[in-house]
A and B are shown apart, each in its own frame.
Chain A
């Protein structure tokens, strides 16, 4: 059996089915998308070759492209700022708990298990301008001036979606950080205690450096998934009042599936892929992790 498994031909043979599946589901459609982005195609006729016209139109004539691009960046940055520090904070607090750590961890992690659709529908009701939880609470506290139509106000729509997504996913990163932080030996904290370090200082000088690599993983994960975020935005605002909360993925969906401009939609998706690759590469290079040992 051993000999058989070490034979390169056998290995190739067993990998082939999975590899073929992968090939036809990921790389080949990506190349096809590149090809279709250079055509004008409404899927019921043959594609017509137009070269870089889709890209030219995207950059010079599309009234929503710039807004979508900016919103994509805001969404990615905002998601990072909302989720990572908060997840880190909660992770540290939970690690200091003597009892019920598991209970709280499960509670905070639970939203990740729900479908994004269910969460978005739930928050649609919470954000409802007249009957939702938020505005009702503000009215109850006599703060009517602060009530807004959260999802249909162009200034708040995107941020409302960011909060929903953050609510769902911060538990995921919290669990990652807890896992990372729990591998730090207790003696380090005891030493720091003996030398008079406060809780905050021990977090800053012990926990944070040793968990850095996990924070980097979380950052890359959040950035990559926020750049292609679609479902929550689609359900909560549908692109927002008059495209105020539209992002690149939504534009791609509208152009391709609603307007039957598959060539144009492919161009947007190619651009989305390039944006994602560039940003993640920059992140990988920028966050330098030096191995810290104590």
Chain B
């Protein structure tokens, strides 16, 4: 009896250790079907997520021999970890949404993304449908490693109703802008909503100010080429102007401790008159404020070198094809499907500013979107939001540094510290 029990026990243990072996999927029946893996961030609030899901459904319907596996379960930093982990494990990724500029560079350099230039050469009509400028954000060493889907603009959104109540109009000069701040504050509203617990948001006004003072020249020299210093006059003056806004009562007290979502809520609830933000949030603002929503760029400063026609633009959310894709031709076909006029029109209708030359009628898009597109057409210059071309490490340091301006720190000291850090990180 004892021996029998021992044997039974041992057999049970061995069998239970073997169960994982049966967990592998069946791979024979899919020889006919082509399977594509498509990775993109999951953001419940983003129209992009819905649009992607629609794309997959429509493409699968039109091509019954293709099955697209969606991997979409994280966003932000977690999505970065998800992508890098999948790449490191060697599993094929056919299509993925990724980043642009310095955030895409490591992937391009590591050979993880397919160069799209041959696909462009094969299909000039497709290439001509894409705008040229956004592609420069995904071009490295002559190869194009992705196609940005969104042209995001960082500008000043404002609440028309509050402006009317305060008796002010959209400022056309910088002096008028300062008057707007005072008038709105006197009317009992928060002039500029800001939740600086995510420091990149507080950096937006600073970038605009520096540009108005020093022009695109100072941006090119210091931010992009590293020839100038962060202690150059425009950067110090820009910080001092920002602190002048704080003295005028432009922001809520303790703005550094306020959560980002709260800052946004203040604007959406009609408590704050202006909000410096990217156009990806515009659909939500439009939903909340409707016709009361307006947008403008920081006015030109009289003795400054910059201009209100210079915009903060970032081509974003780039679609790439993985270099280890098992079905590159199908992946390219799906990519072209997503960038076709019909699908692009759908994307534009959701409020995003697209990077293709799609024709839009005035009924399709909301008036703010139309205004931004029109302003971009008139733009005479552009700069990227600085933290993106500066890379993850230095960009984060920049955002952390500007937090100090809101605390009343001495700009020269903060910028001198940051100059040292930027030299180290190089």
Which A residues have a C-beta under 8 Å from some C-beta of B?
1, 4, 14, 17, 42-45, 61-63, 124, 127-130, 149-153, 238, 241-243, 254-255, 257-261
Top 5 A-B pairs ranked by shortest CB distance?
A129-B254, A152-B257, A149-B257, A152-B256, A149-B254
How many chain B residues touch A (CB < 8 A): the figure is 38
A152→B197 contact, CB < 8 A: yes
List residues of chain A with CB within 8 A of the CB of B392. 258-260
List residues of chain A with CB within 8 A of the CB of B256. 149, 152, 241
Determine which residue in A14, A150, A152 has the highest number of CB atoms from chain B within 10 A of its CB, and name it: A152
List, sorted by A's number, 17 A–B pairs whose CB atoms are closer than 8 Å: A1-B5, A17-B17, A42-B106, A43-B87, A44-B87, A45-B110, A124-B259, A127-B257, A129-B254, A149-B257, A152-B196, A152-B254, A153-B257, A238-B197, A257-B77, A259-B392, A261-B393
Binary flags per residue of B243-278, CB closer than 8 Å to A gives 1, else 0: 000000000111011110000000000000000000
B19 to chain A minimum Cβ distance, whole angstroms, is 12
A164 to chain B minimum Cβ distance, whole angstroms, is 15
List residues of chain A with CB within 8 A of the CB of B400. 241-243
A129→B396 contact, CB < 8 A: no
Given contacts A152-B197, A259-B393, A259-B396, 7 further A-B contacts (CB under 8 A): A43-B87, A44-B87, A128-B258, A242-B404, A255-B393, A260-B392, A261-B393
B421→A63 contact, CB < 8 A: yes
B403→A242 contact, CB < 8 A: yes
Query: How far is A151 from B80 in the complex, measured between Cα atoms in Å?
Result: 27
B128 contacts the other chain (CB 8 A): no
Query: How far is A196 from B410 in the complex, measured between Cα atoms in Å?
Result: 63
Interchain CB contact (< 8 A) of B253 among A17, A129, A238, A258: A129
Query: How far is A254 from B196 in the complex, measured between Cα atoms in Å?
Result: 19
B420 contacts the other chain (CB 8 A): yes
B88 contacts the other chain (CB 8 A): yes
List residues of chain A with CB within 8 A of the CB of B407. 241
List residues of chain A with CB within 8 A of the CB of B17. 17
State which residues 362-384 of B face A: CB under 8 Å.
none
List residues of chain A with CB within 8 A of the CB of B73. none
Interchain CB contact (< 8 A) of A45 among B77, B109, B421: B109
State which residues 50-108 of B face A: CB under 8 Å.
77, 80-81, 84-85, 87-88, 106-107
B11 to chain A minimum Cβ distance, whole angstroms, is 13
List residues of chain B with CB within 8 A of the CB of A151. 257
A43→B257 contact, CB < 8 A: no
What is the interface of chain A mostly: helix, strand, loop, or mixed?
A: loop
Which B residues have a C-beta under 8 Å from some C-beta of A?
2, 5-6, 13, 17, 77, 80-81, 84-85, 87-88, 106-107, 109-112, 196-197, 252-254, 256-259, 392-393, 396, 400-401, 403-404, 407, 420-421, 424
A241→B77 contact, CB < 8 A: no
B396→A258 contact, CB < 8 A: yes
List residues of chain B with CB within 8 A of the CB of A129. 253-254, 257-258
Query: How far is A257 from B256 in the complex, measured between Cα atoms in Å?
Result: 24
- Among residues of B, the one whose C-beta sits closest to the C-beta of A16 is B17
List residues of chain B with CB within 8 A of the CB of A4. 6
B97 to chain A minimum Cβ distance, whole angstroms, is 16
List residues of chain B with CB within 8 A of the CB of A128. 257-258
B208 to chain A minimum Cβ distance, whole angstroms, is 21
B403→A241 contact, CB < 8 A: yes
A130→B84 contact, CB < 8 A: no
A96 to chain B minimum Cβ distance, whole angstroms, is 41
B421→A43 contact, CB < 8 A: no
List residues of chain B with CB within 8 A of the CB of A258. 77, 80, 392, 396
Query: How far is A63 from B6 in the complex, measured between Cα atoms in Å?
Result: 62
B421→A130 contact, CB < 8 A: no
List residues of chain A with CB within 8 A of the CB of B110. 42, 44-45
A44→B403 contact, CB < 8 A: no
A40 to chain B minimum Cβ distance, whole angstroms, is 12
Query: How far is A294 from B424 in the complex, measured between Cα atoms in Å?
Result: 62
Query: How far is A43 from B252 in the complex, measured between Cα atoms in Å?
Result: 42
Query: How far is A165 from B129 in the complex, measured between Cα atoms in Å?
Result: 56
B106→A63 contact, CB < 8 A: no
Query: How far is A43 from B253 in the complex, measured between Cα atoms in Å?
Result: 42
A86 to chain B minimum Cβ distance, whole angstroms, is 27
Query: How far is A202 from B299 in the complex, measured between Cα atoms in Å?
Result: 75
Query: How far is A126 from B259 in the complex, measured between Cα atoms in Å?
Result: 13
- Among residues of A, the one whose C-beta sits closest to the C-beta of B77 is A258
A65 to chain B minimum Cβ distance, whole angstroms, is 11
List residues of chain B with CB within 8 A of the CB of A1. 2, 5-6
A258 to chain B minimum Cβ distance, whole angstroms, is 6
A227 to chain B minimum Cβ distance, whole angstroms, is 24
Query: How far is A257 from B393 in the complex, measured between Cα atoms in Å?
Result: 11
- Among residues of B, the one whose C-beta sits closest to the C-beta of A254 is B396
List residues of chain B with CB within 8 A of the CB of A17. 17
- Among residues of B, the one whose C-beta sits closest to the C-beta of A151 is B257
List residues of chain B with CB within 8 A of the CB of A259. 392-393, 396
A3 to chain B minimum Cβ distance, whole angstroms, is 9
List residues of chain A with CB within 8 A of the CB of B5. 1
Interchain CB contact (< 8 A) of B420 among A63, A124, A241, A261: A63
Query: How far is A61 from B366 in the complex, measured between Cα atoms in Å?
Result: 50
List residues of chain B with CB within 8 A of the CB of A62. 424
- Among residues of B, the one whose C-beta sits closest to the C-beta of A239 is B400
Query: How far is A129 from B252 in the complex, measured between Cα atoms in Å?
Result: 10
Known: A1-B2, A129-B257, A257-B77. A44 touches B106 (CB 8 A): yes
List residues of chain B with CB within 8 A of the CB of A124. 259
A21 to chain B minimum Cβ distance, whole angstroms, is 11
Query: How far is A76 from B357 in the complex, measured between Cα atoms in Å?
Result: 58
Query: How far is A128 from B254 in the complex, measured between Cα atoms in Å?
Result: 9
List residues of chain B with CB within 8 A of the CB of A63. 420-421, 424
A29 to chain B minimum Cβ distance, whole angstroms, is 14
Interchain CB contact (< 8 A) of B84 among A44, A127, A150, A242: A44
Query: How far is A150 from B88 in the complex, measured between Cα atoms in Å?
Result: 40
Query: How far is A238 from B259 in the complex, measured between Cα atoms in Å?
Result: 12
B114 to chain A minimum Cβ distance, whole angstroms, is 14
B84→A43 contact, CB < 8 A: yes
A180 to chain B minimum Cβ distance, whole angstroms, is 40
List residues of chain A with CB within 8 A of the CB of B13. 14
B424→A61 contact, CB < 8 A: yes
